[in-house]
Structure 1
Amino acid sequence: MAGDRDWWFDEAAGPLIRPYAMTRGRTRPGAPNLNLVTQIRASRNRSDLSQLTPEHQEIVDLCERPLSVAEIAAYLNIPLVVAKILISDLLELGDVVAGAPFQTSDIVDTKFLQAVLDGIRRI
């Protein structure tokens, strides 16, 4: 996947495709509730990925496991607002789903939580 990106990325200059080109001139995401820690995951019911831009496809590929919006921006080496706009597009198409960061109530292994707490107390 990294080899596919080499043609548009110059280590010294950064992305050769301008952010406004990636977002088609948009400056605000359509989904207003995206923040740095919103978890994004690829949907099981996807649209035709061949119709998506390479950046959109890369986000879907990255999100086979849940990633935060900030992680996606970092992996793609794009500004956060650009990541939010691209993710918003994918949310509208149903290719990804967004959720809140996991809560400690989602963790059922209390032994794990106790081990973490014990480790913090030893510090």
Structure 2
Amino acid sequence: MGVRRRRRAGREIPWLDDEAGRLVRPYTVSNGRTRPTAHFDLLTMVMATGKRPVTCQGPDYTQVLGLCGGPVSVAEIAAHIRLPAVVTKVLLADLVDCGALAARAPVPVSACGAGPPNRTDRALLEAVLHGLRKRL
């Protein structure tokens, strides 16, 4: 396995050890920031706008932009880049602020016309419970 390296300014820099994981701590990626400048839910969808970011540069920003060719959720991006959701949200907020990403909050179920809000389908829950009991 070993250490994977990235090239920067003509020299190789180790950034991931297959056994130990990231060699750079997650909160270093966000410069210690834990609060994004915009609100993101884990289901918020983001997509690249095609605009090249001037201020948001680096391997983590490049990796995030590479994942956003089509609509993708915050949770999915966090899983792909293997960073905590809060760090991912900071990176995404930076990219939205510089115009490289567009974000859309999830539509609440009640706004979709799917029925009254906070109403649970009892029959569905009972069917799920029955299925779980059969497996255990």
- The code of the aligned residue for 2:35 comes to R
Question: Please, which of 74, 85, 91 is the counterpart of residue 79 of structure 2?
Answer: 74
Taking structure 2 as the reference length, what is the TM-score of the superposition? 0.64
Displaced runs of 4 or more, over 4 A: 3-6
Counterpart residue identity of residue 45, structure 2: Q
The number of residue pairs the alignment matches comes to 101
**Higher helix residue share:** 1
- Aligned to 2:14, what secondary structure does the other structure show? helix
Question: Which structure dedicates a bigger proportion of its chain to strand?
Answer: 2
CA distance in 2, matches of 1:35, 1:101: 8
Paired residue for 1:59?
64
Name the structure 2 match of 1:40. 46
SS in 1 for 2:102: strand
Q: Percent identity?
A: 41
- Cα displacement (A) at 1:81: 0.6
Q: What residue number does 1:110 align with?
A: none
Q: Partners in 2 of 1:66 and 1:4 — Cα distance?
A: 29
Q: Is the Cα contact below 8 Å between 2:75 and 2:85 reproduced in 1?
A: yes
Alignment gaps of 5+ in structure 1? 106-123
Which structure has more relative contact order (CA 8 Å, sep 6+)? It is 1
Q: Which has the larger radius of gyration?
A: 2
